[in-house]
Amino acid sequence: MSAEQQLAQLRSEIDACDSELVRLLAKRNQITEQVGKVKQRYGAPLHAPDREAKLIAERRAQAQQQGVNPDLVEDILRRMMREAYQNQQSELACVCPELSPVVIVGGRGAMGQLFAKQLTRSGIEVRILDKEEQQQDKAEEVIRGAKCVIISVPINAVEKVVKALPALDDDALLVDITSVKEKPLAALTQKHSGPVLGLHPMFGPDISHWVKQTVVVCPGRESKAGDALQAQLKVWGCQLVEMSARKHDEAMQIIQVMRHLTTFVYGQFLARQEHSLQEIRDCSSPIYQLELMMVGRLFAQSPELYSDIMLAQFDRVEPLLEEYQNTYEQTLSMLRDRDKDALISAFSDAKRFFSDASDQFLRQSRALLNKANDAKVLD
């Protein structure tokens, strides 16, 4: 048998294995859809972290015994799980019927639509109060009888929009989902004497499902209604992180504002270079491809939104910017002086901050890099 014939036979066997994998994936999808229906019927959370951890550990051990790379098996499992969570989104359990109807102020915006769709999937009545209803003087009609009002408007409009709201029922829950918390919560508590809650979804409107998505919870006036909404978020699979509004805003100065600002500046820098984007991409390593994706992602979205995010906390973040600039200038000085010892010392200081997490980040980033390289399109 020639080499070509041997390869043809082996490739035929590979094709048969691949076909069997597709058949098994289809069967698994059917089963996970049934799981979703059972969870919807009994109000069970979409995400079961203990079950997930046990499943992955057992399959990794099984892979090891059969001479298969456990990392490969885990990658496949996690991808299948993500698909399963997405397939289970059509109908969701409702554990907070007492919050219906919900009014979403700014409900025609991207985040407002995301919340409206998720609440509707859970069987909760959703009403929209946006510019159209305001212009038609329908605000009071829309708000009347609402048990929960969610503010989903640009940061710089929150205080004005909240102040203009018609009076809410005393037991109605007033919530905002903006990325700044102190001022919006102050506006909410001043407007409404009933329950108030601050939420910051740490994701954008383009997510395929809510499982494992982080939502920061900032207490306003605690109540059963606020607890009920948080319970609903958990059923959707969200990870809730509670902190004060002040702590939240301080954290966002680093996590959001500084990150967006440095990405914004770097994007402008690239745009002013003589090299085209294609030229830069053609000679990029996988790690730089990922960095370039994150920069490009920013500029694929709303300039108004990101301008608002950076401007909303600029007064507070200005000292951080000065510190960042000083660090940059100190590093530049080390380079000009060719002071290798100083550079190594600075590197070591930063490494101590990351501690043991640096090894974890290295492993996680390696997996991302492999996926980025796999997805590379060759002409």
For the chain, the straight-line distance linking the first and the last C-alpha, in angstroms and rounded, comes to 34
Confidence tier at 83 by pLDDT (50, 70, 90): confident
HSE at residue 30, side-chain half, CA atoms within 13 A, is 6
Q: What is the average pLDDT across 84-98?
A: 87
Q: For 139-190, what is each residue's pLDDT tens digit? A: 899 999 999 999 999 888 999 999 999 999 999 999 999 989 999 999 999 9
Q: Is the pLDDT of residue 243 over 70?
A: yes
Q: What is the pLDDT of residue 346?
A: 93
Q: 62-66, 80-84, 123-127, 283-287 — which is least confidently predicted? A: 283-287
Alpha-helical runs (H) found in 192-285: 224-235, 245-252, 259-271, 277-282
| pLDDT computed for residue 374 by the predictor | 67
Residues 107, 131: Cα–Cα separation, whole Å: 10
Q: Is 376's pLDDT higher than 70?
A: no
For residue 379, pLDDT over 70 is answered with no
Neighbours of 263 (CB within 10 A): 18
User: Could you report the per-residue pLDDT of 324-343, keeping only the tens digit for each?
Assistant: 899 999 999 999 999 999 99
Strand order through the sheet with 102-105: 126-129, 102-105, 148-151, 173-176, 196-201, 214-221, 239-242
- pLDDT value at position 116? 96
CA 180 from centroid of its chain's CA atoms: 16
pLDDT for the residue 135: 67
How far is it, in rounded angstroms, from Cα 206 to Cα 305?
Answer: 15
- Amino acid 372: pLDDT: 66
| Confidence at 317, pLDDT banded by 50, 70, 90 | confident
User: Phi/psi zone of residue 123: left (φ > 0), alpha (ψ -120 to 50 degrees), beta?
Assistant: left
Phi, psi of 201 (to 5 degrees): -70, 120
Identify which has the larger pLDDT, 377 or 334: 334
The region of weakest confidence among 7-21, 284-298, 335-349 is: 284-298
Res. 42: pLDDT tops 70: yes
101: confidence class by pLDDT, cuts 50, 70, 90 = very high
Backbone φ and ψ for 176, nearest 5 degrees, come out as: -120, 150
Instruction: Express each pLDDT in 180-228 by its tens digit.
Output: 999 999 999 999 999 999 999 999 898 888 999 999 999 998 889 999 9
Distance of CA 126 to the CA centre of its chain: 23
For residue 314, pLDDT beyond 90: no
pLDDT, the chain, mean: 89
Give residue 312's pLDDT band: very low, low, confident or very high (50, 70, 90).
Answer: confident
Q: Which residue has the higher pLDDT, 128 or 136?
A: 128
Percent of the chain residues past pLDDT 90, beyond the cut: 55
Examine the pLDDT at 64 and tell me if it is beyond 70: yes
Rounded to an integer, the average pLDDT of 7-34 is 93
Q: How many percent of the chain have pLDDT more than 70?
A: 97
